Amino acid sequence: MKDLINLMFGVVPYLVVSLVVVVIMALLVMAALNYHCSITWRWLKYKACGKRGDIEESEPNIINLNQTSVQISHSLPDLQAEAIQPIMHDIKETTTKKVLRQTTLPIVPERLQTFQRQLSHKLDIPNDIKFSICSLERSNSKAVGNIKPELYKKDLVRQASVESSSGPDMEYCGKLHFSLRYDKEMEGLVIKILECRDLPIKGRQSSCDPYVRVFLLPDRKKNFQTKVKRKNNNPMFNESFIFSVTYEELRNRYIQFSIYDFDRFSKHDLIGHVIYKGLLDIADLYQDIEYSMSIMCPPQENSNLGELLVSLCYLPIAGRLTVTIIKGHSLKTMDITGKSDPYVKIYLLCQSKKIKKKKTSVKFRTLDPMFREAFVFDVPQNNIEDVYLVLKIMDYDRISHDETMGYVVIGSAFMGSGRDHWLIMLDNPRTPSAQWYSLMENLPSYIPPLKEKNVCQGCLTTR
């Protein structure tokens, strides 16, 4: 009995699985027969009635796709005719329009890219603006516009340097042609050195090798220099330089052009200077203004009068100017014995007024005196641009008045070695700098006479 029961429990699961499989197969066979019957019925109905539209509405999947589609290629899917119709319509519309030629914009210089970037923020230009070409009628009127003569008179007056008319005895050595323009977008002063004309020959050379240095004074830290033009008394430079300066600073700035003759084996010879003032007048003009100014020759130094070695040092924070008279060489004979009794007077002047006066000790019976004496002047930093030094070399005489042996002028208001030495001192504070000076027989005409009793104490700012 137990064996029979165990046999029944072992056979029952297999019977259930086989029954389920038979039922599933029966359902599949019935579904297949139903599908074939429905297809056969619709085919018979189509043959009998010929109503194709009913079949398309009931079953769109059995429509022949080759009749309602456009085949592009064998490798791409077919596109529906309904989707292709708007595409073909757009193609027809574009073909009816005129073909526009594509153009490229010119290359914009880097100098104008900053202006374009700023302009794009300032102007809001809509994209839907329609441009049209119109023809302008030619006017028969000869009146172009109102001419303002005062704009042209000022340019003609500037053809001569402001500094050139300072003294009647001023000598000139050629012409300098340059142009100026102030760019408000970049906040820069554009200086273009064009050419020089009729330059003299300096030294023992038979030709001139000129170049030009540009300073924007009173700031001497940055300057520019042109290329050297070999063996040319009428050089063409055509070089542009830009000084970064704001509109408000132009009132207190001025330009100095220094023309030099290049010498490979010795010190470069200074040909002359050109100083231009009034930069604020050109700030509102948007074009290059050309100028042709005479080159002012530096004061003539007479080597027959001898030389003097001078050292300068300035402390900006303390406002202390130290002048050291080191020694003299080959001074002029002033006594019957063939010797001299030299000493040096140092004058500190401000705005053509004498501020302080000091002098060295007398060195008797010598033409090569050794002084080595230092003198300190209190000059505030905001007045250092207004002062200058005049050294007067004297011969001591016990019986009559002392005689003058020569002069040396040092300062930013002069030209030549005295100006260069002064600028070197200001560019290198707290550092002594020495230089030899050839004595001049007379002072420049624009320096007032040095009177012993004419002393002004109110020109310098008190600290």
- Looking at per-residue pLDDT, the higher value among 103 and 29 belongs to 29
pLDDT of 342 higher than 70: yes
Instruction: Assign 4 a pLDDT band (cuts: 50, 70, 90).
Output: low
CB 264 within 8 A of CB 280: no
Helices (H), 300-435: 417-427
Given CATH 1.10.3720.10, say whether it is the number of domain 303-438.
no
Instruction: Assign 69 a pLDDT band (cuts: 50, 70, 90).
Output: very low
CB 348 within 8 A of CB 387: yes
Which one, of 274, 213, 209, lies nearest residue 239 by Cα? 213
Q: Which residues contact 144 (CB under 8 A, 6 or more apart)?
A: none
Mean pLDDT score of the chain: 76
- Of 127-131, 245-249, 344-348, which range is least confident? 127-131
Helix (H, G, I), strand (E, B) or coil at 186: coil
Which one, of 390, 308, 376, lies nearest residue 342 by Cα? 308
CB 296 within 8 A of CB 164: yes
E-only strand ranges, 106-187: 172-183
pTM for the whole thing?
Answer: 0.48
Distance from C-alpha of 310 to C-alpha of 323, rounded to nearest angstrom: 7
CATH class of 151-296: mainly beta
pLDDT tens across 115-125, in order? 445 444 444 44
The token pair at 222 is 């940055």
Which one, of 212, 195, 215, lies nearest residue 255 by Cα? 215
State the DSSP string of 403-428. Answer: EEEEEEEESTTS-SHHHHHHHHHHHS
Please state whether beta strands 188-197 and 172-183 pair in parallel, antiparallel, or not at all (unpaired): antiparallel
pLDDT tens across 389-402, in order? 999 999 998 888 89
Where do we find the tokens 């009729």?
198
Domain ranges of the chain: 151-296, 303-438
Please state whether beta strands 269-276 and 387-395 pair in parallel, antiparallel, or not at all (unpaired): unpaired
